[in-house]
Each structure stands twice: as structure tokens, then as C-alpha cells.
Amino acid sequence: MVEYQKSIAGEASISGVGVHTGQETTITFKPAEVDTGIRFIRTDLPDRPVIQVKADNAVLEESLFLTQLSSGPSEIKTVEHVLAACTGLGIDNIILEVSSSEPPICDGSALPFVEAIQKAGIVTQDRPKQFIEVTEPIWLYENGLELAIIPSPRLEITYKIDYDHPAVGIRSASFLINEETFVEKIAPARTFCFLRDVDILRQQGKIKGGSLENAIVIGEHDFLNEELRFQDEIVRHKILDVMGDLALIGKPIRGHIIAVRSGHAFNIRFVQKVLNTLNGKVGRGVPKLPISADEIRRILPHRYPFLLIDRVVDMDYTNMSVKAIKNLSNNEEFFNGHFPQEPIMPGVLLIEAMAQAGGVLLLSLDGNRGKIAYLVGVDNAKVRRKAVPGDQLVIETKILKLRKKAGKVESTVHVDGNLIAEANLFFSLGEDVT
């Protein structure tokens, strides 16, 4: 049976506070024509920029606690609950006008958005839906996190959590997803956090609008909320998050989604892998650790005497971080002139080594292979101690933000466990012209 695209029949609005900004904000749902997809509009900005819901607009936000989209300089964050409401109700085309940088958190679930859409009404449009379907499994597994889609004629989601906490522990749930099941069993599940993380997040300028009214808070031994809506509400909310993040694929899915301990950044990486696989753009795979100098030369364009990392010993795609080493010897080319009587590695080359470590991570991601990462900015750079012959530099770089054509990382260099240099670096990604 052919299924047709859907939109909202009229307008509906919800106001409240943003969970991270703590600011008053309003989201307005509006009808859209066929094949429009889901689009956010920032009504608080002069040019009312449009941000399309698609994988290319996903931002890897440094906290990894939310899903954020951007288009040019315009951003919209914490979109996962709204997107889950739209996809759970089968909405293909809708305009989401937001009066700030994030929608209201409401009660921490997708239910208020569902109820607003249902009140406005849902209409069937005169264009068939186009589904994402797979003929063979697509998997992503990294450091104990797992996501897969396997062939199925309908959407089913299975999720397993594993928290080292007496109130949570190991739990799993599986649901065949249709509109009725979503509204009754998934949409009401609220977001959650651990009390131990609250102060850290607030020091980072986040969850300014968070409270027991819009989140489940897990204390040292038990939940701080008076009651849960479901015994397995946390697992159900993780399913809700998966549904919201998979909306970035741009089309409804038919398949069995299996997730183990995944979060927003990992979900987005999986979306990218699914799209690359279906488009025939899967690369040669993630290099095996440790990554040797030969493999580094296949990833980076640098060559002697300007290749400044010898080996990559760790690559964490969950936290988007990399650890590389550089062994300094008396034979380094730059020691000949800096300085003959007191060989010291120039500070700018320490920064270059940090940038090259970040480049290995950036250019090993699906969609970035074969590109070149150009260093375009340096911020908060400090050289705290000399790097001299005999030192082994341990370079650790973490991606803070990543867009389609740009990225920001923070990086440090240690010798014998002591911090000797640090910097924030900005990259521009371009095509290899060779």
C-alpha cells in the first residue's frame, strides 16, 4: 500500500524556557508543501534564516548532550525532541519557527509537541513518501557503543542502556514504532541527567532552564523525582532521542534499529554512515590502531621535514578525540637553526603538531576522506615549557565543533605527564586538488 506525505493542517505554538539557555522561547508549527522536509526558521534574527533538517547541517556540540544544527552562522540547538515528535507522527513536511536558539524544553519529553501538532491536525498530501530501506545490515561500533539498522518492512527500535548506577543498571526495551505506539509509549518519556553532572554542566553555561519539572534527575542512590511515568522511562527516552536524531536522514525509515549505549554524537555519526553507504560513498574504513607513519601519510598531505607526528595511538570517535606521539631526536631539521647551541622545538611547530593530530581525526571521518584540513585560526595558545631532543611529545586533540566545511578543536602537548603546550585550533575543510 502506498503511503503519502503528511503535513500539519494549521498552526500551533508552544512557549516555555530553553533547557540550556534558560530563556523564554516559542516554537510555532506551520504547514509546508510536499517535498519541503522539516525546516527550522530563527524568527529572532533579522534575516529569518532557514536551517534544513539534514545530516550536512549537524554540529557535533562539545558536550555531546544535545543535537544541534547550523546553516552559515545561524544555529538551533536541542532539536531532538521536536524532531522525534514530527517523525513519530509521520510528518514529512513542516516549518518550525523558533524565537530563540532553542525550542522550549516543556516537560522534558516530546508529548507537548505531539499534542500541539495533533490539535492543529494532520493532513495527507498528494505525493508518495520515499522511505529509507536497506537490503543488508549497516553497523557502527566504537568503544562499546553500537548502532545498526537491519532489513525489516517496518520500523522497530531496540535500545540497551548500561549505567554503573544502582537505580539504573542494565536495561533494554524494544518497540514496533507506529503513531499509536509512539504517542502512548515513547513520546511521554522525559529526558534525564545524573545529579553528579549538574554542577559541571552549569559551569559550562548549560541547563540554565533545567529542573525537576522538565527532567528526571538521578541522585547518588535513586531518582529525585517523586515518580516515573514508566518503569523503564530512561530507556524509552533514549529511543525517543534516536528517533529525533535519525530524522537527519531526511526520509522515514523502514528497518530494525538496534542501539547500545548510543548518544547524540554517535547517532549523528551513524546517520552519516547510513547515508554514505546508501550513496555508495563508504571509504576504506577506519584505520586500525596504532596508526603508523605510513598510514598517517595516506591521511595527511604533509611530508618530510614537515610531518610532525610519528604515530597515532588512540582514536575515540565517541568523544571525537585523538592521541598521537612525536619523538624528538637531535636529527630534527629545525634544530639546525633553532638553536645550534640550545636546540628547542619552535612553538609554532608545536602548534602545527597539534593541528596534524587533529587533521588525522578529521580526515578519517566518513565524508572527509581525501580532503585537506587547512589551519585557519589559533586561539588561547600557550607554550609552558621547552620541547628538546629526547622528549616524547604526547599530543591529545579533541573536536569541539564540526560542520561540513569547518571545525574547532582543543589540543594539548604533554612530556612525561607534564603539560608543555596547549591551544584551540580552527580548521577549514577543502577538497584535495591533486
Q: What is the pLDDT along the chain (434 residues), one digit of tens a residue?
A: 789 999 999 999 999 999 999 999 999 999 999 999 999 999 999 999 999 999 989 987 645 578 999 988 899 999 999 999 999 999 999 999 999 999 999 999 999 999 999 999 999 999 999 999 988 899 998 878 899 999 999 999 999 999 989 889 999 999 999 999 999 999 999 999 999 989 888 888 889 999 999 999 999 999 999 899 999 999 999 999 999 999 999 999 999 999 999 999 899 989 988 998 887 644 444 566 788 888 888 889 898 899 999 999 998 766 778 999 999 999 999 999 999 899 999 999 999 999 999 999 888 876 677 788 999 999 999 999 999 999 999 999 998 888 778 889 999 999 999 999 999 999 998 865 44
Q: What is the pLDDT of residue 280?
A: 66
Tally: H helices and E strands in the chain: 8, 24
Q: Which helix (H) or strand (E) holds 341?
A: none
**Domain match, 262 and 321 both:** no
Residue 288 lies in a domain: no
Catalytic residue IDs = 264, 338
**Domain match, 273 and 297 both:** no
Q: In angstroms, rounded to a whole number, what is the distance separating the alpha carbons of residues 248 and 251?
A: 8
Residue 286 lies in a domain: no
Last residue of a domain, one of 244, 278, 312: 278
Q: Judge whether 359 and 345 are in contact, CB under 8 Å.
A: no
Q: In angstroms, rounded to a whole number, what is the distance separating the alpha carbons of residues 248 and 54?
A: 4
* Pairing, β 38-42 against β 24-31: unpaired
Q: Judge whether 185 and 236 are in contact, CB under 8 Å.
A: yes
Residue 285 lies in a domain: no
* Residue linked to cell 529525585: 224
Q: What is the pLDDT of residue 344?
A: 96
Judged by DSSP in three states, 349 sits in: helix
**Domain match, 270 and 358 both:** no
Q: Judge whether 186 and 260 are in contact, CB under 8 Å.
A: no
**Domain match, 273 and 307 both:** no
Residue 422's domain spans which residues? 293-431
For 253-298, the pLDDT digits (tens) are 999 999 999 999 899 989 988 998 887 644 444 566 788 888 888 8
**Domain match, 184 and 90 both:** yes
Tally of domains in the chain: 2
For the record, the C-alpha cell of 394 comes out as 604526547
Q: What is the pLDDT of residue 93?
A: 98
Residue 284 lies in a domain: no
* Residue linked to cell 525489516: 152
Residue 287 lies in a domain: no
Q: What is the pLDDT of residue 434?
A: 46
Exposure letters 377-410 (e unless 16+ CB within 10 A, then b): eeeebebeeebeeebebbbbbbbbbbbeebbbbb
DSSP 93: B
Q: What is the pLDDT of residue 270?
A: 93
**Domain match, 117 and 183 both:** yes
CATH number of the domain within which 398 lies: 3.10.129.10
**Domain match, 51 and 130 both:** yes
**Domain match, 266 and 372 both:** no
For the record, the C-alpha cell of 218 comes out as 538521578
**Domain match, 197 and 105 both:** yes
Residue 368's nearest CA partner among 310, 286, 290 is 286
Last residue of a domain, one of 251, 278, 305: 278
**Domain match, 317 and 200 both:** no
Q: What is the pLDDT of residue 432?
A: 56
CATH number of the domain within which 270 lies: 3.30.1700.10
